Amino acid sequence: MPDHYFITHSNIIRKHAITRDFNIDPNNEIFVNFVTFIKALYKKETISYPKFYKMDNMSKLGFLGTEMLLRDNSFFDRYSKEEIGIIMMNSSSSLDTDLLYNQTIKDKSNYFPSPSLFVYTLPNILIGEICIRHGIKGENAFFIFDRFEPQKILDLVHLLLDEDRAQVCLCGWVEVLEDNFESVLFLVEKEKRMKEFQLKNEYSSFDIENLKLLYQNKK
C-alpha cells in the first residue's frame, strides 16, 4: 500500500440519533415521517440551498449528510475539485422514487409523468447533486449492495486512492425506502496530505474493523 489511509470525518443520520465524528446526538422528537424529519433537519442545520426542495428523498438525505460532513473541517482547502472521488451505495437503488413515478403512469385517465421526477429514478443523481453543490469533478460511482459491506467498500476506495485516481474519497451508504432510512457518510484521506495540512493524527485507520465500528456508531 502506497500510503496510510484514515477515516477522518463521519456523519450518520438515523431516525433516533445523528452522529458527527462519533459524537452521538439523540433525536428526541417524535418521528412522524421521513419528509417531516428531513425538512426539520434541513432547517435546524440552517443550510440555504433552494434546490434542496426539488430533490427526491434519497438525494435530500445524502445531500444533507454531505453538507453536515463537509462543513467546518476545511476540506476544500486540502483538495482541488478534480482530486475528490465519490463512492455511494445503497440497497434499494431509487426504488422509493420509482414507486412515486410509477403512480404517475399507472392510470391512463390520470397520466402525468414528469421529467423532474423521472430523473430521480437513478440513484447516482445524488452524486450529481453533491457535485453540483461543490463543483466536484473527480471519479464517482454508485453501487448496490444488500447491506453495508465493509470489505467491498475497502476494495473500491483502494482502487481510487492507491493509483492516485483520487486523493480523497467521500464515501457513503444512503438508503431511503418510504420511512425507513439511514445515511452513513465518511471521508477517507491519505496520511501524506493530512501531514501537509498538519492534521493531528487522532483518526481511525481505514480498515474493515473500523468500518464496522463506524456503522455501529462506535469508535
Partner 1 sequence: MMRKVYIAGDNIVNSLGFSTGEVMKQLETGATGFMFYNDPRLAQTTLPLSLVDQRILHSRFDEILQKRHPELNKNSFTRLEKMFIVSIDDALKNTESNIYGSDSLLIISSTKGNIDLLEEGMKEFPDPKRIYLWKMAEVIGSFFGFVTRPLVVSNACISGVLALSTAARMIEAGLYENIIISGGDLLSEFVISGFLSFQALSPEPCKPFDIARKGLSLGEGCGTLMLSSKLKKTITITASGSAISNDANHISGPSRTGEELAMAITKAIKEANLKLDNVDFISAHGTATLYNDEMESKAIGIAGLRTAHVNSFKGYWGHTLGAAGVIESVATIHSMESDMLFRSAGFDEPGVPVALNVIRKNASTQVNNSLKIASGFGGCNAAMVFQKI
Q: Is 127 in the site for partner 1 (CB under 8 A)?
A: yes
Report the C-alpha gap between 23 and 97 in whole angstroms: 31
Q: Are 56 and 64 in contact (CB under 8 A)?
A: no
Beta strands 168-177; 204-205: pairing state: unpaired
**One-character DSSP codes across 60-120:** HHHHHHHHHHHTTTTHHHH--TTSEEEEEEESSTTHHHHHHHHHHHH-GGG----HHHHTT
The pattern of x and - marking residues 20 through 59 that bind partner 1 according to CB under 8 A reads ----------------------------------------
Query: Which residue among 109, 114, 198, 200 contacts partner 1 (CB under 8 A)?
Result: 114
Per-residue cell: 80:
482541488
Q: Is 128 in the site for partner 1 (CB under 8 A)?
A: yes
Q: Is 66 in the site for partner 1 (CB under 8 A)?
A: no
**Cα dihedral 209, 212, 216, 219 sign:** positive
Q: Is 118 in the site for partner 1 (CB under 8 A)?
A: yes
Tell me the window of 3-11, 105-113, 178-186, 204-212 that interacts with partner 1 (CB under 8 A).
105-113
Q: Is 119 in the site for partner 1 (CB under 8 A)?
A: yes
Q: Is 193 in the site for partner 1 (CB under 8 A)?
A: no
Q: What single-letter DSSP state applies at residue 55? A: S
The pattern of x and - marking residues 136 through 175 that bind partner 1 according to CB under 8 A reads xxxxxxxxxxx-----x--xx-xx--xx-x----------
Q: What CA–CA distances, in Å, run from 26 to 100, 140, 192, 214? A: 31, 32, 35, 16
Rounded least distance, CB 156 to partner 1, Å: 7
Q: Which amino acid is at 3?
A: D
Rounded least distance, CB 126 to partner 1, Å: 8
Binding site for partner 1 (CB under 8 A): 81-82, 86, 91-93, 95, 98-99, 101-102, 105-106, 108, 111, 113-115, 118-119, 121-125, 127-129, 131-132, 134-146, 152, 155-156, 158-159, 162-163, 165
